[in-house]
A and B are shown apart, each in its own frame.
Chain A
Amino acid sequence: MIEVNPDCCDLCGTCISVCPKDCITLTESRLIIDDSQCNACQICVRVCPFKALRLVE
């Protein structure tokens, strides 16, 4: 699954724009990934400007 580091995440939404499974959402204060929908393709990891996303086993 993909883990968000809230200390790095700038809440910019770039990951949401590319997520093919549409499983990332944003509130005013945090980014949420729906693990039940995520297929760990890591496209979000590639576009994150601040390296806030990573794959964890």
Chain B
Amino acid sequence: MRKEYDVIVVGGGPAGSTAARFAKTATNTVALFERDREIGIPVRCAEATSIQDLERFVKIDPRWVATTITKARLISPSDQKVWLNLPNDGVILNRRLFDNGLAEIAATQGVEIFTKANVYKIVSDGEQNWEVFVRHLDRDYIVKSKIIIAADGVESRIARFAGIRTQTVLKDIESCAQVLLGNLDVVENQIDFYFSSRWAPGGYAWVFPKGNRTANVGLGVNGAYYKRRSAIEYLDDFINEKFPEAARLTTVAGGVPVAKSLKKIASDGLLIVGDAARQVNPVTGGGILAAITAGKIAGLVAAQAIARNDWSVNVLKEYQTEWDKNVGKDYARFYKIKEWMTELSDDELDEIATLLQKIPPDDINIMTVFKIALRNKPALLLEAIKLFAQMI
């Protein structure tokens, strides 16, 4: 470990590895600190994304893809099934291998990666540099850095040291639990979303096949709908009813921010990316693509700032501008859809499912059909359906 770097990235998920990769140039120094012992685990993710969109950022290694998805079903509280044909090539990733792969690409560019490296404090040295306090294996280090890229996930504590409030309110967090189930009879190219207050109040339950008779089965409960039951208790009920014969291979917990993206994602010497910046599609909870999009922009802006010898907010705010233009403005609209969806009662969900079932799966995106079919905010519903079909 060096005594100083031009850029330090905190967190080795997709946002952090991508930011590090694009921040590294032939002449600068970049380090990435990951708290866990291995990049890519634990996998706190349902692992669904769109391969076409990913390919814009990285050459896909076939080992990263567990299954290809062509069909989706939205299942209502009374078990009505609405079929969707997916417009993109949907995939369920092997996040462990995917995250490993992204970190490897960064390392190949010359990024220095440290695991078991817990950044517990950052302090400005008063001269436009950061002092980064990191515990690595059994030792404490203070490392200097010009720019910090905070990719520290849902907990998002790094930015708070710089005075940026990242706390999320209860209605903007989904409390999630997921089990990898084995010994399952599932259709391999089809994913299911269950909407019901019985299974997942203010969220949904998912069944995403991963091949070899396995599937990610999980659910998210909205924090505002807490009724003294935790996500894992809801998930137990769901699995016991739907898959009583299945083997439970791994169990993970996780929080998904379904918030507006942070207002301030760039300040002097600091960029915030991925879950830490609440860059998640608030309707679906999908965050992989947003993380990589933000990571690339942030990395490029950081590299440019180092090259220009100016890493003040005046230069770094370019990241904010580009994010807002490319994704942020869409997500602001999606947030309104999420606010509407979480408030739907089971009866309303069933009513919507009944109407949607009359529409052929391929036509389900047609605006006019919805205008005829639905009295209640058809535009919002249409967009919501599209988002699930795109898997992002």
Which of B37, B44, B166, B253 has the most A CB atoms < 10 Å from its CB?
B253
Q: Is the CB of A50 within 8 A of B255?
A: no
**Complex: chain A residue closest to B230, CB-CB:** A51
Distance in angstroms between the alpha carbons of A50 and B175 in the assembled complex: 9
Question: Which of A25, A47, A48 lies in contact with B157, CB distance below 8 A?
Answer: A25
Q: Is the CB of A12 within 8 A of B118?
A: no
Q: Is the CB of A48 within 8 A of B156?
A: no
B interface secondary structure, majority: mixed
**Given known contacts A12-B255, A22-B157, A48 and B230 CB-to-CB distance under 8 angstroms:** yes
Q: Is the CB of A50 within 8 A of B253?
A: yes
Interface 1/0 per residue, B341-370 and A, CB below 8 Å: 000000000000000000000000000000
Chain B residues with Cβ below 8 Å from A37 are: none
**Complex: chain A residue closest to B229, CB-CB:** A51
**Given known contacts A12-B255, A14-B254, A20-B167, A50 and B36 CB-to-CB distance under 8 angstroms:** no
Distance in angstroms between the alpha carbons of A49 and B252 in the assembled complex: 9
Q: Is the CB of B177 within 8 A of A28?
A: no
A interface secondary structure, majority: loop
Contacting residues of chain A (1-30) with chain B, CB-CB under 8 angstroms: 10, 12-14, 16-20, 22, 25-28
Our count of residue pairs bridging A and B at CB distance below 8 angstroms stands at: 92
**Complex: chain B residue closest to A13, CB-CB:** B155
Interface 1/0 per residue, B197-241 and A, CB below 8 Å: 000000000000000000000000001001000111100000000
Q: How many residues of A contact B (CB 8 A)?
A: 21
Interface 1/0 per residue, B251-273 and A, CB below 8 Å: 11111010000000000000000
| Distance between B287 CB and nearest chain A CB, rounded to angstroms | 13
A55 on the interface (CB 8 Å rule)? no
Interface 1/0 per residue, B262-295 and A, CB below 8 Å: 0000000000000000000000000000000000
Question: Which of B42, B116, B232 lies in contact with A49, CB distance below 8 A?
Answer: B232
Question: Which of A12, A27, A46, A47 lies in contact with B252, CB distance below 8 A?
Answer: A12
Which of B116, B169, B226, B257 has the most A CB atoms < 10 Å from its CB?
B226
Contacting residues of chain B (105-139) with chain A, CB-CB under 8 angstroms: 116, 118, 120, 135
Distance in angstroms between the alpha carbons of A43 and B226 in the assembled complex: 10
**Complex: chain A residue closest to B224, CB-CB:** A46
Distance in angstroms between the alpha carbons of A47 and B254 in the assembled complex: 10
Q: Is the CB of A13 within 8 A of B154?
A: yes
**Given known contacts A18-B223, A50-B230, A51-B232, A10 and B167 CB-to-CB distance under 8 angstroms:** no
Q: Is the CB of B170 within 8 A of A18?
A: yes
B40 on the interface (CB 8 Å rule)? no
Q: Is the CB of A17 within 8 A of B176?
A: no
Interface 1/0 per residue, A29-57 and B, CB below 8 Å: 00000000000000100111111000000
B48 on the interface (CB 8 Å rule)? no
Q: Is the CB of A17 within 8 A of B156?
A: yes
**9 extra A-B contacts, CB within 8 A, seeds A12-B255, A28-B36, A49-B176:** A12-B253, A18-B170, A20-B167, A22-B157, A27-B35, A47-B173, A50-B230, A50-B232, A51-B232
CB<8 Å pairs between A and B, sample of 20? A12-B252, A14-B155, A17-B155, A17-B156, A20-B167, A22-B160, A22-B167, A25-B157, A28-B35, A46-B170, A47-B170, A47-B223, A47-B255, A48-B175, A48-B230, A49-B175, A49-B177, A49-B255, A50-B177, A50-B231
